[in-house]
Amino acid sequence: EDYDRTIALMATDGENRETGLANYYEYPDAFVQRGLTYEGLGEWQKAVDDYSYALGLWGGGRGPDSNPYVLTFRGNALTKLGQYRDSLDDYRAAGDIFARQQNTARETDSRANYALALYESGDKEGAVKMMKYVTRKNPGYADMHVALAAHAWSVRDPETAEREWAFTCNAIDVGCRKYKDLEWVSVVRRWPPSLVEELQRFLATGIVDDVEKGGFKIYRKP
């Protein structure tokens, strides 16, 4: 309600009626903040609508002058609505903008989000290529190593699956333990359903426990 009142007060002079652009930064930012509040309430469509309005006040589109953080927020909300294909352009544009800004951490986050959405959209080959790009750009990006492990197991490539899982467990500070919690993977890490299912099947083999202890089993076909 606070943001509703704030936006109502700003509406009198916050938007240029001729251009549709914001007269000052605080006006679109109020929509962004309300969108984040809607996310916390699980009202994803309202969040998407507010992010879209804010982006419109900044000029619309997904060009170099767009706000990559808000593009990412909207992409995240779209995936919560199951609209993975619709999120792709936002994630891709955000990644491109962050890359131009030489913000590697945020770029790889956007590329990882893009890879997950692409995977759920059915382009697993393209998704895997992007996952590998992220791990080359940031070798310590645990999410993508585990995603590659889950995918590899699903396509009967146990050697790659175990190698990626072992790297996450033994060579990355965050480790692999949290990735055994599928609810955490789905809700906090925002993995799509199809990849969560593949991770679940990989975890069910028991191989991951041996790898986590520092050893490898003899590879066997899943």
pLDDT in tens, 102-135: 999 999 999 999 999 999 999 999 999 999 999 9
Interacting residues of 180 by C-beta distance below 8 A, sequence separation 6+: 203, 208
Mean pLDDT over the full length of the chain? 93
Q: Which two tokens stand for residue 78?
A: 């779209």
Here the CATH number for the domain that contains residue 72 is 1.25.40.10
Q: Are residues 76 and 54 in the same domain?
A: yes
pTM: 0.90
Q: Is the pLDDT of residue 220 over 50?
A: no
Whole-angstrom distance, CA of residue 188 vs CA of residue 211: 24
Per the structure, the count of domains in the chain is: 2
Q: Of 65, 89, 123, which closes a domain?
A: 123
Q: State pLDDT tens for residues 94-103.
A: 999 999 999 9
Q: Are residues 108 and 139 in the same domain?
A: no
Residue 176 binned pLDDT confidence (cut-offs 50, 70, 90): very high
